[in-house]
Amino acid sequence: MVEGQNSRVRRRLIVHGRVQGVGYRAHVARLARAYSVAGHVTNLPDGTVEIEVQGPSRIVDQFIEQALAPSWPIHPGGIRRSEELPVDPKLGEFEIVRGSA
């Protein structure tokens, strides 16, 4: 099956750089609302941030591009790890998950 631009995808990203203590999770959540994608964002203990995002493939790609764009004082260094996950029909609104970091 060929994946179209509007097929739904779910991705998990680990973002590194200056992404903790600078409002990055709130920034990502605002972007998620603007793009109408589902998922979550959370700080990880190693100083990285996990983003899980689900929506139409083209929209998810645009969301990720914006989430990786620097916006002072936020400066994502890039994606340390990325993986495709099965689409979850129960995944609701995008939320900020309070992590242990």
Q: Is 25 a catalytic residue?
A: yes
**CATH code, 18-88:** 3.30.70.100
d(CA 41, CA 49) in angstroms, rounded, equals: 7
Among candidate residues 65, 7, 12, the one with its CA nearest the CA of residue 42:
12
pLDDT tens for 38-50 read 999 999 999 999 9
Of the candidates 43, 58, 80, 98, the residue annotated as catalytic is 43
With cut-offs at 50, 70 and 90, classify the pLDDT of residue 101. low
pLDDT of 75 over the 70 cut: yes
| Domain residue limits, the chain | 18-88
- Average pLDDT across the chain, whole number: 93
Q: Which residue has the higher pLDDT, 53 or 98?
A: 53
pLDDT at 1: 38
Helices within 1-101 (DSSP H only): 24-35, 57-67
Of the candidates 8, 25, 30, 98, the residue annotated as catalytic is 25
pLDDT tens for 2-48 read 455 579 999 999 999 999 999 999 999 999 999 999 999 999 999 99
